[in-house]
Amino acid sequence: MRKFLLLMGAAAGFLLADTVEMKNGDRITGKIVKIHAGVVVLTTDYAGDLSIKQENVLRMTTDEEILARASTNKTDAVVVTKLNYTAGTNQTVTTVFRTGDQDPDVPPPPKYWTHSIGLNLTGKSGNTEAFGLGLVGDAVYARDRVLLKLYGRYDYEKVDGVLNTKILNFGVDYERRFAEQHGWYLRDDNVQNEMQNVQWRSYAAGGYSYYLWRRMDETGAAVQDVLRLRVGLGYAYDLYYRDELGNEDVDVENTSIDTGLWFRQKLWQGAFWNTEITLEPSVNDTEYVYGRHESRLEFQYLFKGVKQELGILNEYLSKPEGDARNLDTIWFIRLRAIW
């Protein structure tokens, strides 16, 4: 097999100009992609990418100009040259990379923003005709002790031509920790839910956050495991439809206790359990409570950067106007793209 690869390398040498000659006499032809940390990375048409220890290399040449550095110190100058390196001479080549590629000695900038968008579609035909659509999206900024989340979702479903679910929700959540486990937060949440006769609900809150535990991923930008509790004060402005025709709108204002729980647990590589609960009991009216709960299982889909989610979403309003239901429940299967 080894002789076959060498013969293929020799045949490809007429088209691919870079060569690596080994101290044992082997000669490999391809394209030198980079050299870093004592490893030469060479790509070939016949064997894909090869990683070779530089200590085993006798000579290397390139037909095109590349970027080379004689050390791993990123502040040292990079030379644009055609590589012609021979071991045992006074030549020193420690880092090599191509124009437009990331300098191996300079770590890539940290990624503070993560974006995602998800879609779930449901349908049924036969005895019952049903169609449902769900959209979610968010942008999350995580850096040091700051966590900022912009989010939105839309859920729509008709059963036998009758509207069964129509919810629009978007908002912003900002948090800054002043110690490892302690922080403060501000959030603004907006909801429209026609099935509960809520024409518009705007809610602003702020308070104290406490982390029982919190573990980030290797980049420090994404939460792996967390249990967070919140308590604060909130103000809600609710605008209701009085009747099915949308006439005689009624507005209600409430000051409330803002409470929340966020639990996230890594189950295995690429799989997470996530539960978020908010509960907002009114201070003005002890019988008025608004709450939201979502639990979902997230796991890696077939493609990189795509997750599948299985979950349940509950939207609760203790005193909806008219004959509206006080609880909406949505079960969903969702595909979410993350970048």
Beta strand 198-216 with 223-240: parallel, antiparallel or unpaired? antiparallel
Cα–Cα–Cα angle for 93, 98, 103, rounded to 5 degrees: 75
Q: What span, in angstroms and rounded, lies between the C-alpha atoms of 307 and 290?
A: 30
pLDDT per position as a tens digit, 12-34:
444 557 999 999 999 999 999 99
Asked whether the beta carbons of 33 and 62 are under 8 A apart, the reply is no
pLDDT band at 292 (very low <50, low <70, confident <90, very high): very high
What is the signed CA dihedral for 99, 105, 111, 115, rounded to 10 degrees?
A: 40
pLDDT band at 149 (very low <50, low <70, confident <90, very high): very high
Q: What span, in angstroms and rounded, lies between the C-alpha atoms of 175 and 195?
A: 32
Q: What span, in angstroms and rounded, lies between the C-alpha atoms of 310 and 127?
A: 26
Strands (E), the chain: 18-22, 27-36, 39-44, 48-53, 57-69, 79-86, 95-97, 113-124, 130-143, 146-159, 162-177, 182-193, 198-216, 223-240, 250-268, 271-281, 289-300, 306-317, 327-338
pLDDT band at 247 (very low <50, low <70, confident <90, very high): low
Segment 280-302 shows an average pLDDT of: 91
- For 2, 3, 52, 88, 143, the CA distances from 26, given in Å and listed in that order, are 10, 9, 12, 18, 49
The residue extents of the domains of the chain are: 2-97, 113-338
pLDDT band at 232 (very low <50, low <70, confident <90, very high): very high
32: left (phi over 0), alpha (psi -120 to 50) or beta: beta
Asked whether the beta carbons of 108 and 123 are under 8 A apart, the reply is no
Q: What span, in angstroms and rounded, lies between the C-alpha atoms of 95 and 71?
A: 7
With tokens 């006499």, the residue in question is 25
- Residue 79 Cα to chain centre, angstroms: 37
pLDDT band at 55 (very low <50, low <70, confident <90, very high): very high
Spatial CB neighbours of 61, under 8 Å, sequence gap ≥ 6: 17, 18, 19, 82, 83, 84, 85
109, pLDDT greater than 90: no
Architecture of domain 113-338: Beta Barrel (2.40)
